[in-house]
Amino acid sequence: MTADTADSGIAAREANRLRSILAGSAGNLVESFDWFVYAAFGLYFSQVFFPGGDRTTQLLNTAAIFGVGFLARPFGAWIMGLYGDRIGRKAAMVASVSLMCAGSLIIAVCPGYAQIGVAAPAILVFARILQGVSMGGEYGASATYLSEMASRKNRGFWSGVFYSTLIAGQLMAMGVLLLLTAVLSPEDMQAWGWRIAFFIGGGLAIAVFWLRRGMDETPSFHARTGPKATTWGLIASHPKESLTVIGLTAGGTLAYYTYTTYIQKFLVNTSGFTKDQANLITAGALAVFMLVNPLIGSLSDRVGRRAILLTFGVLGMTLTWPLLSTLANTRDVWLAFLLAAGALVMVACYSSVNAVVKAELFPTATRALGVALPYSLANAAFGGTAEYVALAFKQAGHETRFFTYVSVIIAGSLLVYLLMPDTRRHSRIAED
């Protein structure tokens, strides 16, 4: 074999690796869009499914169903994690996007409370359960896929890109919201405009289904050895790693959902901004968040994952209360944007390395399940309940207690960061 032939082979493999990573990331973006459309449009469809009570009560009911979707995520993580470890990462990713598509289209066509009564919120719950199962399985499969396809020297960078696609999906949901509110009247948005976003999400998911069918499987999965993955095998063989994933996720996911989904309602319901102002502030902060994740992920390839996580833990524990209390009392749009963007730069020190740290903790045979199941349990307990807990504190007249709650949970995760190894130096992903 000549040097030119060898170089051509290497270039072809690298190009194929890049195509596979980008294909997986595109699917991740669309799944994220479908998931976050619910949160972005909650201000508009809450009255359609829950017509009684004041705005806080309606949002509380909508947030409760948002949390139900999170409760379904551990089940999806369990089923899809086993499927991904036994059948393949690609197969699990195809299955997850199919469920997400079904959930979005069901919400898009579901009649409101005025038409079918209590069946309307019941159908909404069912659709969110489908999406929760999908999202629970999607995270483990796609995070594992990306970590195994990326080369050792830049896994942190691609982990940051992975989270940027999640944010891009959320930002795209906000973009659709801004576009629709610009061209439709508030009455039309309330009556039917919000349904357009769910139709868009369902259509994009169909496109991703065909895209993912053409992806390659990872070298790590092809090289796996040993017995098939089982739930008991994960618990018995990797209890420390599983508990580490739960602990490192708790504070990060709570902060993430506080500053990406709940913040939109907070700016309207507490700070007093209009819906349009809150949408613009949130969208601008998310754009900054999306851009910084790959940069911080790339930094972790040089200084290690643990140093980045420690930065988030220290900043989150000390700055959450002053950030939220200042946001609660400002009416200046630019100050609110700077505070929200600064908070998300802080959160990026968790999110940018989130995917790769979990994947590097587990061996190939149980990696998808190990990444997905403990993460989803923590996500359901702390991320999925963030809006509900915040709104419950507000309704009880003790909103600032939520600020303290977030700070304390992040402090607990900081303790985990202090005790865990740096996975960049002790990665269990053997293939490069």
The CATH number of the domain holding residue 176 is 1.20.1250.20
Residues 6 or more apart whose CB falls under 8 angstroms from that of 117 comprise none
Task: Kindly state whether residue 91 falls inside one of the protein's structural domains.
Answer: yes
Q: Examine the pLDDT at 248 and tell me if it is beyond 60.
A: yes
Task: Kindly state whether residue 16 falls inside one of the protein's structural domains.
Answer: no
- Segment 225-231 mean pLDDT: 77
Give SS3 for 111.
coil
Task: Kindly state whether residue 430 falls inside one of the protein's structural domains.
Answer: no
CA 59 – CA 427 distance, rounded (Å): 43
State how far Cα 226 lies from the chain centre: 31
DSSP 364: G
CA 395 – CA 57 distance, rounded (Å): 8
Query: Quick one: pLDDT band at residue 53, thresholds 50, 70, 90?
Result: low
Range of the domain at 144: 24-216+237-419
Task: Kindly state whether residue 207 falls inside one of the protein's structural domains.
Answer: yes
Task: Kindly state whether residue 228 falls inside one of the protein's structural domains.
Answer: no
pLDDT digits (tens, 9 = 90+) for 385-399: 898 899 999 988 899
The gap between the terminal CA atoms of the chain, to the nearest Å, is: 22
pLDDT digits (tens, 9 = 90+) for 289-332: 999 999 999 999 999 999 999 999 999 999 999 999 999 999 99
Contact between 378 and 246 (Cβ < 8 Å): yes
Task: Kindly state whether residue 231 falls inside one of the protein's structural domains.
Answer: no
- Record the pTM: 0.83
Task: Kindly state whether residue 2 falls inside one of the protein's structural domains.
Answer: no
Task: Kindly state whether residue 353 falls inside one of the protein's structural domains.
Answer: yes
pLDDT digits (tens, 9 = 90+) for 67-89: 777 778 889 989 999 999 999 88
Task: Say what the pLDDT of residue 64 is.
Answer: 77
Q: How many domains does the chain have?
A: 1
Of 145, 142, 151, the C-alpha closest to 298 is: 151
